[in-house]
């Protein structure tokens, strides 16, 4: 992983480079916790899971919280979670854990000592180190150029917080909002930030009728792609004429036989449009490192996703094979074993009926590739699935059966199943490599305890949450907040939009 360094210290850049990028998660982070902290964290996670399972079993299956079967489930889960204290790690694992935490602390000290700020670039996916004074100058220049911000002499955060609390209490006293709504909207004094009022519910989630905007506001920024058989001079004149139609129209254009459109590379080869994956110059060949403490299915999904994108984007077998080699090099660069790469390449080809006659996962038949590519292009993408889910969640309950979209129908059925007794029961735990047995153990316990009961009609899904990655550990997005209550004089000036 490359690090862009504005000035010294170079030593910080070298240390961050060794960490394999901003998405890297140190392995087995809780191993270095003190015993009391580890037990407290474990008890909190266990209590949350038991409380959720107890409430679900009571609501759906009318099982009393103090029944023997609930107590049996709680005892089994407690043994699973506390088994971590008897699980030993190898010497190499312990050495790696201690080395990683020392490196992170060293980077933080170097940044503070050198008065530097660490940020992750927007598109290139790399860390950038710069002096604090340089960033302050850029902020001042941006304020001056845009004239969109006002610097306040004092922080009105607490005053705004008190007004919101008084208003919510007044609404609750007058019974204009319920106790549940009052509790959900009440801001947390320790977490609120000026101009980030996340505790206010979003209108679309409350099913509130909103005013539809049917006119264009200011400038609309987007990319447009078109093909033409006219001359370059004719196209340029057409675009220049469009720019003179309205002061808010400011078209910039790129004309040629080879252009990039979003993530797609398009070239005109003998009057045929050939498409392939476009790699931006500033982008790094970076994915989640293989040594990162992510759940194992993440790495398989990464390989499948980038191969699927290559098949969708590459219109010829030659372009696909070129992209396949680039993918292989990128995975090797991020620490993926060769056998692991080949195994999942072969799995992807087998699932999509792309057979190979050689030992290496390669494709030689152009017609077979084009046929499979056409089949994959007809399948919905992840964004289309997400859009269908949003549409299904906002559809009128009385007209849900009127839709004929084959992509929305399963989403509606899934939403209806959530209200049935056979809905999925979802619980989470924080993932670490040494806790990999949690999921199978919890499922085994669930099946053994509720064997031959109607509870097994509900599907238990055990999800995972990740530990903080390097971006969360090293990038300070907010000023330092002391644990003690700050006075009004200690509140720093804040920029608001």
The whole-angstrom separation of Cα 386 and Cα 106 is 41
Tell me, yes or no, whether 103 and 178 share the same domain: no
Other beta carbons within 10 angstroms of residue 340's beta carbon come to 15
Q: Are residues 300 and 335 in the same domain?
A: yes
Q: Which of these three, 242, 261, 280, is where a domain ends?
A: 261
Claim to verify: residue 7 and residue 89 sit in the same structural domain: yes
Does residue 228 form part of some domain?
Answer: yes
Alpha carbon distance 223, 220 (integer Å): 10
Decide if 327 is inside a domain. Answer: yes
205, two tokens: 């989630």
pLDDT score, position 1: 44
| Inside any domain, residue 290 | no
pLDDT of residue 303: 96
Report in angstroms the alpha-carbon separations of 34 from 106, 272, 408, 467: 21, 65, 49, 17
53 and 112 together in one domain = yes
Q: Under 8 Å CB-to-CB from 195, ≥6 apart: which residues?
A: 494, 496, 497
Considering the domain boundaries, does residue 13 fall inside one?
yes
User: Domain range holding 256?
Assistant: 224-261
- Whether 7 and 140 map to the same domain: the answer is yes
Those residues of the chain that have pLDDT short of 70 are 1-19, 122-125, 194-221, 354-362, 396-404, 415-422, 477-497
302/368 same-domain check: yes
Residues 251 and 369 in one domain: no
Residue 419 lies in a domain: no
Q: Are residues 16 and 132 in the same domain?
A: yes
Same domain (yes/no): 54, 120:
yes
| 14 and 103 share one domain | yes
Residues 247, 321, single domain; the answer is no
In a domain? residue 496: no
* 122 & 165 share domain: no
Q: Quick one: pLDDT at residue 143?
A: 82
Within a domain: residue 200?
no
Dihedral angle computed from the Cα positions of residues 7, 8, 14 and 20, in that order, rounded to the nearest 10 degrees: -40
Q: Would you say the C-alpha torsion 401, 407, 413, 417 has a positive or negative sign?
A: negative
Using a 10 angstrom Cβ sphere, with 0-12 exposed, 13-18 middle and 19 or more buried, the burial of residue 322 is middle
Domain count, the chain: 4
> Which residue is associated with the tokens 């396949």?
324
Last residue of a domain, one of 330, 349, 377: 377
Q: How far from the centroid of its chain's Cα atoms is residue 459's Cα?
A: 25
pLDDT in the model for residue 400: 55
For 160-196, the pLDDT digits (tens) are 889 999 999 999 999 999 988 998 899 888 778 766 5
- Tell whether pTM > 0.85: no
The whole-angstrom separation of Cα 156 and Cα 159 is 5
Q: Under a CB-based contact definition with an 8 Å cutoff, are residues 387 and 408 in contact?
A: no
**What pLDDT is stored for residue 488 in this prediction?**
45
Contacts within 8 Å (CB) and 24+ apart, 377-385 = 377/312, 380/407
| Residue 43, domain member (yes or no) | yes
């Amino acid at each position: 992983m490359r690090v862009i360094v504005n000035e010294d210290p170079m030593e910080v850049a070298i240390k961050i480079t060794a960490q394999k990028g901003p998405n890297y998660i140190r392995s087995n982070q809780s191993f270095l916790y003190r015993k009391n902290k580890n037990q407290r964290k474990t008890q909190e996670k266990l209590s949350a899971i038991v409380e959720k399972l107890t409430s679900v079993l009571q609501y759906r299956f009318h099982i009393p919280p103090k029944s023997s079967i609930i107590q049996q489930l709680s005892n089994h889960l407690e043994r699973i979670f506390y088994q971590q204290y008897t699980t030993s790690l190898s010497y190499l694992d312990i050495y790696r854990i201690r080395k990683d935490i020392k490196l992170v602390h060293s980077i933080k000290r170097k940044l503070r000592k050198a008065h530097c700020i660490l940020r992750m670039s927007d598109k290139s996916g790399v860390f950038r180190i710069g002096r604090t004074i340089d960033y302050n100058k850029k902020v001042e220049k941006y304020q001056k150029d845009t004239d969109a911000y006002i610097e306040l002499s004092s922080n009105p955060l607490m005053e705004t917080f008190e007004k919101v609390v008084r208003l919510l209490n007044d609404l609750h006293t007058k019974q204009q909002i319920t106790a549940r709504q009052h509790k959900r909207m009440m801001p947390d004094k320790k977490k609120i930030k000026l101009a980030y009022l996340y505790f206010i519910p979003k209108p679309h989630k409350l099913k509130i009728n909103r005013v539809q905007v049917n006119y264009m506001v200011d400038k609309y920024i987007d990319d447009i792609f078109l093909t033409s058989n006219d001359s370059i001079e004719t196209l340029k004149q057409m675009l220049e004429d469009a720019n003179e139609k309205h002061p808010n129209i400011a078209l910039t254009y790129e004309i040629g036989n080879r252009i990039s459109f979003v993530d797609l590379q398009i070239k005109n080869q003998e009057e045929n449009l050939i498409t392939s994956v476009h790699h931006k110059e500033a982008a790094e060949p970076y994915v989640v490192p293989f040594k990162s403490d992510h759940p194992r299915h993440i790495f398989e999904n990464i390989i499948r996703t980038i191969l699927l994108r290559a098949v969708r984007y590459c219109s010829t077998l030659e372009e696909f094979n070129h992209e396949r080699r680039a993918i292989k090099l990128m995975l090797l660069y991020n620490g993926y074993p060769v056998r692991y790469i080949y195994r999942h390449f072969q799995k992807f080809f087998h699932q999509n009926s792309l057979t190979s006659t050689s030992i290496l996962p390669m494709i030689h038949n152009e017609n077979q590739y084009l046929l499979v590519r056409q089949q994959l292009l007809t399948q919905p993408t992840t964004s289309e699935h997400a859009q269908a889910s949003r549409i299904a969640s906002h559809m009128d309950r009385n007209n849900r059966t009127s839709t004929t979209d084959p992509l929305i129908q399963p989403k509606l059925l899934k939403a209806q199943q959530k209200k049935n007794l056979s809905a999925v029961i979802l619980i989470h735990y924080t993932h670490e490599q040494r806790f990999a047995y949690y999921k199978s153990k919890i499922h085994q316990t669930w099946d053994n305890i509720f064997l031959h009961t109607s509870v097994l009609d509900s599907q238990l899904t055990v999800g995972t949450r990740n530990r903080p990655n390097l971006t969360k550990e090293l990038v300070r997005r907010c000023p330092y907040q002391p644990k003690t209550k700050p006075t009004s004089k200690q509140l720093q000036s804040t920029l608001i939009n």
